[in-house]
Structure 1
Amino acid sequence: MPRYVIQSAATGRFLTADPEGGEPMWVSLLQQAGGGVTDDRERVAQLMADYCEPEDFPQVVDLDRLGTANDYT
């Protein structure tokens, strides 16, 4: 099952859930993005629609693809 995270191509930050239970927020380190990792493509699409601006240039990263033959090039 894939694990997706949303990353801003403009800033390099990751969209994640606020640990205090608030709105999603951008963090700079992948290790802080645990609350933003999901296997639900519909949730990813909804998060992008609700919390990403076009200037963020949001991209979806499949964490299970990293370091494999199918890695992003």
Structure 2
Amino acid sequence: MARYIIQSMDTGRFLAPTGDGGVDWFRSLRDADGGVINDPDQIGQLLADHCDFDTQAIVIDLDRLGTANGYAPI
């Protein structure tokens, strides 16, 4: 199962579901309860509903970090 997080390159905040069924931007993954999203379709919907060009949102696949297929520095 893939594990993704969404982060704003503009603010550094993480977009994640809240405990009450909403969605919010969090300063830390701890406050976002990890912020991990498993469903690629949900990622697409969150990006469409809560991000614009200025947000500069990126999707990070946590299972790629630290592997041969990891991310190059930005």
TM-score of the superposed pair, with normalisation by structure 2: 0.81
Q: Deviations over 1:10-31 (max 9, x none)?
A: 1111101223x15211112123
Residue 22 and residue 59 in structure 1: after superposition, are their counterparts in 2 closer, same or farther (change >3 A)?
same
> How many equivalent pairs are there?
72
Structure 2 residue runs without a partner (length 5+):
none
Q: Where does structure 1 differ by over 4 angstroms across 4 or more consecutive aligned residues?
A: none
- Tell me the residue number matched to 1:65: 64
Mapped contact 1:18–1:24 kept (Cα < 8 A): yes
Structure 1 residue runs without a partner (length 5+):
none
Identity of paired residues, percent?
A: 49
- Could you say which structure has the higher helix fraction? 1
- Tell me the residue number matched to 1:14: 14
Instruction: Give the letter for the 2:52 counterpart.
Output: E
Q: How many Å separate the matches in 2 of 1:55 and 1:2?
A: 27
Instruction: Give the letter for the 1:47 counterpart.
Output: L
TM-score of the superposed pair, with normalisation by structure 1: 0.82
